[in-house]
Amino acid sequence: MDWFGRAKIAFTHSSSPLALQRKDGTATDLLKVCEASTSPCQLNPLLFNGHLQTMWTAVKEHGPPIYYRRRIFDADHKTYTGTFTVDFAVDPHSDVEEALPPRTAFFSEDDFANIGSDDSRPMLIVLHGLSGGSHEIYLRHAIAPLVMNGGNWDVCVVNSRGCANSKVTSGVLFNARATWDVRQVVKWAKQTFPNRPLFALGFSLGANILTNYVGEEGANCLLKGAISVANPFDLEIANKALQRTLLGKQVYSRVMGTNMKKLIDNHKDAVLKLTNLDYDRIQNVTYLHEFDREVQTVTWGYPTENAYYRDASSSDAVLGIRIPFLAISALDDPIAVYDAIPFQEFTQNPYTVLLTTSLGGHISWFEIGGGRWHAKPICDFLNHMVTEIDLDAIKPDANGAQVETQFVTEFDPVRRKLQVINN
């Protein structure tokens, strides 16, 4: 039992973690960096389980006042057309726009045209959770130490299509495997800021998307590191767990399903014009899996929502990661549940470390006074990587961990198919 809100911390990792070199020439490894970046997890003792931690998010505190400038990006993919928005954390300004989330305004054309730089400041690209956006409190808690009060990071948030008061401009919406927009932003950032070390951070659904993206990119990934927080990993297991309990179905699944239905309502005209979705059927949706059945299966051609969940899950993608990768999960998370965490996959990939806490709920980790513990390991890991580690010395291995078999095989973690090459 956890005593007075003190959560137990554990690390799951390869027996031979990724070797890293410090800037002073000495040796370390990814596990040591993650351990050094993780402070004790002392949470509010009154919120003594995952349900209380998660439900406390309904208490609308203001959170850190992060200001943003927004840019609308035209998708550069010939199939995944349309637009999406990216919000850049900036100095406080007064010209906020009512049609956008709080403290947010558009870039002027001139300002955005001149945004490029040859500086070497670290840059973080963030993905939010389901139906959220750059305004989410858990997200602002995490990035505030990086951009406020002398923080030297540049941070931007990729908003999922239609989220955070962005417009839907094509029939291409977002799903749990929608890696195309973050891929475009990473490439754009590399071209626009060629000397900046790029990192990424994802929360919940955004963590699943980010893990899929990093796994898909493999040794070609342009990021120097990434962090996944409260990732559901195996969406089919997580969904079944939600439907199995009263709180899971009638509280969490209902709230998420309602939020997604509201998102469709906010874009009714575009949905009716640009998609083949049955708007009236979506109005009868109550739970998240019902929404996925009416929207994701129809949009992407999955025969069932479970087929969508299996394909979009990021648990196998963990095996394809070839950059330093830290995942943070609470074992009492009622949404990104314990049973969905791919513990064995983390033991097989030296580029990955899984940090688990016995308490914390879903992207909650509320401390006494309202702070959020997850901001500490996130910021400490990122700062540790850029200040102490020689990032240029990290050479991704296209093969990663090797598993001996009685015949030659190859497992593709993206295609999720085992192929016998010869026997």
Give every CB contact of residue 293 below 8 A, 6+ residues apart in sequence: 304, 305
- Are 319 and 343 in contact by the 8 Å Cβ rule? The answer is no
Nearest in space to 361 (alpha carbons), one of 332, 404, 397: 332
The residues annotated as belonging to the active site are 204, 333, 362
Beta partners for residue 202, in sequence order: 127, 228
Nearest in space to 232 (alpha carbons), one of 258, 200, 259, 203: 203
Q: Are 363 and 204 in contact (CB under 8 A)?
A: yes
Q: Are strands 225-229 and 352-357 parallel, antiparallel or unpaired?
A: unpaired
156 residue type, one letter: C
**Hey, what are 304's tokens?**
């069932």
Q: How far apart are CA 220 and CA 417, in angstroms?
A: 21
User: Residue 364 gets which letter from DSSP?
Assistant: T
Partners of 9 in the beta sheet? 357
Tokens 């994701």 found at: 296
- Angle at which helix 305-312 crosses helix 235-244, to 10 degrees, equals 130
